[in-house]
Amino acid sequence: MSEVYFQRLQAALIAAGRHLPTLVVDTERLTANMAAVRRMTAPGLALRVVEKSLPAPDLLRQVMAGLDTNRLMSFHLPFVRQTVAVFPEADILLGKPMPVGAVAGVSPALDAQVNWLIDSPERLAEYGALAAQSGRSLRICLEVDIGLHRGGFTLERAGDFTAALTRLRDDPNLHLTGLMGYEPHIARLPRAITSPARALDAARAAYARFHALAVQTLGAQAAATLIYNTGGSSTFMLYDGSGPGTEVALASALVKPTDFDLPALEALQAAAFIAAPVLKTVERPEIPMARELSRVLRLLGRSPQRACFIYGGNWLADPCHPAGARRSALFGHSSNQEMYDLPTDSGLKPGDFLFFRPRQSEALFLQFGDIAAFDGTAITDWWPVWHETH
């Protein structure tokens, strides 16, 4: 990313009267990333947008339109409630199992849009009891372990899985809608353990066995109506449509935080930035009560000749502009006024911005209030984020 790009972004923020730490989404880059994702997704596979990674309704609306999908994945009940209100047409799959007590407190009005995730026979029994006692009709998706080993039904205990399928087939209050098999380990395992290709083959083989058990237990016609969800931002492009999967989930890749700087995502651009106002600049910063030590450290290159203090800090993010800026190892983290070492020739001054790339989206996107939508020239809109409680 060029100096000119960040000069334009800084000018846009100043023109918009924004002088606070701000989360910015570049809408031109977002649009280009959506087009790239559609090219990278195998024909016949639907896309499900992971809401927690883009937790703002206007941002989600753009992405759902750009990817031509009404499918969302949610991980937080307050967000589910807000999503149902804003997107009455959305089909929502829970990305993690919810405590039955939390589900009991949810309005039955949500049940027509929500697919609750079940990971064990015990949780299925709890949900069955809730549905029977309340008269609710719950849509259920079963979590299956295809290699991540973070929970879910396993092939080692295949009897539990087929018993769950049978229970869901016969229970008038519970309705099986599909399976979810998550596998982010494919792109993250060290090469010393295995290759991505072998991990993918193992995950696909496991999913195929779960699918075969579903066909055997429910019949081919019933099994064919189910959702078979898999994938993630680091793996969605690996599926060619030949397995049982009917859809892949993703979202973080669309804004590409640094955790997704992966070879498989080279076609995508960073589209999210944090802009932090510079409050102070310091020449030859000194450690308190240690002037001579500070001088020696500067001579040894262990302390900078120039530094700045920003508005805020301590985010899951890394500085990306100006080039060479880095968090001060001597002063450490601060959420109030974090210090960053600067290159000696840096012209950064108070009133300018230090820019960061987030390492993830998710919770970090919720820390700055309304998100600034940047079209490459100006801030064109402000997008409110979801409320953490509702």
Map tokens 């492009």 to a residue.
237
Token duo for residue 162: 């087929």
Quick one: pLDDT band at residue 289, thresholds 50, 70, 90?
very low
Least confident of 153-162, 224-233, 273-282, 321-330: 321-330
The answer to whether 67 and 73 are in contact (CB under 8 A) is no
Q: Which residue has the tokens 């809608």?
A: 177
Element (H, E) at 36: helix 27-40
Q: Which two tokens stand for residue 305?
A: 């000749």
Residue with tokens 């820390």: 367
What Å distances lie between residue 327 and 277, 318, 323, CA to CA? Answer: 15, 8, 12
Q: Following DSSP, what letter does each residue of 247-263 receive, concatenated?
A: EEEE-HHHH--GGG--G
> Dihedral angle at the C-alpha atoms of 240, 241, 245, 248, nearest 10 degrees?
60
The one-letter code for the residue type at 192 is: A
pLDDT at 346: 84
pLDDT at 329 over 80: no
CATH fold for domain 27-255: TIM Barrel (3.20.20)
- pLDDT digit string (tens) for 248-268? 999 999 999 999 999 999 999
pLDDT, average across residues 103-124: 97
pLDDT at 155 exceeding the cut of 70: yes
Question: How far is it, in rounded angstroms, from Cα 358 to Cα 350?
Answer: 23
50 and 27 Cβ atoms separated by less than 8 Å? no
Instruction: Give me the amino acid identity at 76.
Output: H
Confidence bin at 42 (pLDDT 50/70/90): very high
Cross-strand pairs, 72: 49, 92
CB 371, CB 351: distance < 8 Å: no
The enclosing H or E element of 47 equals strand 46-50
Condensed to tens digits (0 to 9), the pLDDT of residues 366-381 reads 999 999 999 999 999 9
Quick one: DSSP state of residue 147? S
Q: Does residue 330 carry a pLDDT above 80? A: no
- The 10s digit of each residue's pLDDT in 166-183 is 999 999 999 999 999 999
How far apart are the C-alpha atoms of 129 and 293, rounded to whole Å? Answer: 68
| Assigned token pair, 371 | 């998100």
Q: Rounded CA gap, 251 and 304, in Å?
A: 38
298-318: pLDDT as tens digits: 555 656 568 899 999 999 999
